[in-house]
Structure 1
Amino acid sequence: MITNFFITGKKGIGKSFLAKRVLHSIEKNYVGYKTLPYFIDEKPKGHYFHSLVELDDLENDLPFTIRDKKDSCIYIKEVFDIIGIPCLTKSLLSSEKIVLLDEIGVAESENIRYINLVETLLNSEKIVVGTLKKVNASLIQKVRERNDILLIDLDDANQEEAFQELVEKIGGILHEK
């Protein structure tokens, strides 16, 4: 049975927007994380990790990429140990049924503990809604190859039809639980 839903597509196509729209439409609380851009002097300088669960004594909103050239960045992989793993652990243990993973990319692809937690979430009873960066990276490939996910590629799909399909399928699962 499909309980994991992922959206992919080229940069800027609306993956995160669609995930947010679907979750807003379903009107259920959710946990997990989102990655957001940060700006200095109105110029994009990288992305930061924002946990949607309380992290106790840990600082939220830590940068994990720093743009060093127009199409290149430096990864701060330790951020996934510092707040990524606690965020995923608390999301797994949460009573909420839905977990948002927005976005899975390259920076976390070498962190075995983080990867194992993502796989544990995907194998759990939770409904996972996520976005995948459209690149070749080990964690992204592992997610793509699973047979328990619905993967929508916005490069090929109509966004409105994708929205309707996701709301219908996720709503159906929630109704069954």
Structure 2
Amino acid sequence: MSKHLFLTGEKKVGKSSAIKKFLSIAQQDFSGYQTQPVIINERIRGYALHSFEALDEEENDVIISVRAGVRRNICVEGIFDTIGVKIIQAAVAADAELVIIDELGKLEDNAPDFQAAIKQLLDSNHRVLGVLQKKESKMSALLNERDDCEIIEISEADRDMAVDKISQWYRG
């Protein structure tokens, strides 16, 4: 079994939901972050990073992208290399064995400091459970190069088994 596990697959197939369900069942201490939609007038207008570690109010739930069309988001420049790095550093410093990274993808392609922080996290003693967008990106290349990362694809047909796959991986 690999030290780190990332779920990939089409959008809205249930990758993040599987991780949330696993966390509620396992009742495991964890750190890291999740990406949350920014909703205005009942529509998704962008996404924000929500750290599981305590950060200053101005640094948590900071907007990382703005919706600019159907399935098109524009990255807010500099957020990953500043706040994103701080979130990863807080996760590495936390006592939790498990770090949640929900999610990684193309938005991080122009964030070299954030990419370096993710690499340091993967090299640390922490185990990482995350979501990887099903797109070619610098982050997908980084994870595919590593022997300690397993990437499994979740589809609608097998998404109900995703929590079992995560549990098996975690028990090792």
TM-score of the two chains, using structure 1 as the length reference:
0.90
Correspondence 1:135-146 to 2 at 5 A: 135-146=135-146
Q: 1:66 to 1:148 in 2, by over 3 A?
A: same
Aligned counterparts, 1:78-157, within 5 A: 78-155=78-155
Task: Tell me, yes or no, if the aligned pair for 1:66 and 1:75 is still in contact at 8 Å.
Answer: yes
Question: Residue 137 of structure 2 aligns to which amino acid in structure 1?
Answer: A
Q: SS at the partner of 1:107?
A: helix
CA deviation vs aligned residue, 1:38-57 (integer Å, no higher than 9, x gap): 11111111111111111246
Structure 2 gaps, min length 5: none
Task: State the partner residue of 1:65.
Answer: 65
Return the letter of the residue paired with 1:164: D
Residue-by-residue CA offset, 1:28-79 (whole Å, 9 max, x unaligned): 1110000011111111111111111112464211111111212322210311
Matches within 5 A, 1:42-53: 42-53=42-53
Range 160-169 or range 84-93, more displaced: 160-169
SS of the aligned residue for 1:102 comes to: strand
Verify the 8 A CA contact 2:45 2:66 in the aligned structure 1: yes
Match of 1:14 in 2: 14
CA contact (8 A) 2:32 2:99 kept: yes
Cα separation, 2, equivalents of 1:38 and 1:132 = 20
Task: List per-residue Cα deviations over 1:130-165 (Å, max 9, x = no partner).
Answer: 000111111122112322122110138612333212
Cα deviation for residue 6 of structure 1 reads: 0.4
Name the residue aligned to 1:76: 76
Q: Secondary structure at the match of 1:45?
A: strand
Instruction: Say what the alpha-carbon RMSD is for the aligned residues.
Output: 1.7
Secondary structure of 2:106's aligned partner: coil
Map of 1:175 onto structure 2: none
- Contact in 2 for aligned 1:152/1:162 (Cα 8 Å): no
- Quote the sequence identity (%): 28
Taking structure 1 as reference, are residues 66 and 167 closer, same or farther at Cα in structure 2, changes over 3 Å only? same
Q: CA deviation at 1:169?
A: 2.2
Amino acid at match of 2:82: I
The SS at the match of 2:108 is coil
Contact 2:13–2:159, Cα closer than 8 Å, also in 1: no
> In 1, are the aligned partners of 2:47 and 2:64 still within 8 Å (CA)?
yes
Q: Count the aligned residue pairs.
A: 172
Q: Secondary structure at the match of 1:167?
A: helix
CA deviation string 1:112-137 (max 9, x = no partner): 11111101111211110000011111
Decide which moves more: 104-113 or 50-59.
Answer: 50-59
The residue identity in structure 1 corresponding to 2:115 is I
Code of the aligned partner of 2:105 = G
Does the CA contact (< 8 Å) of 1:26 and 1:171 recur in 2?
no
Shift of 1:101: 0.3
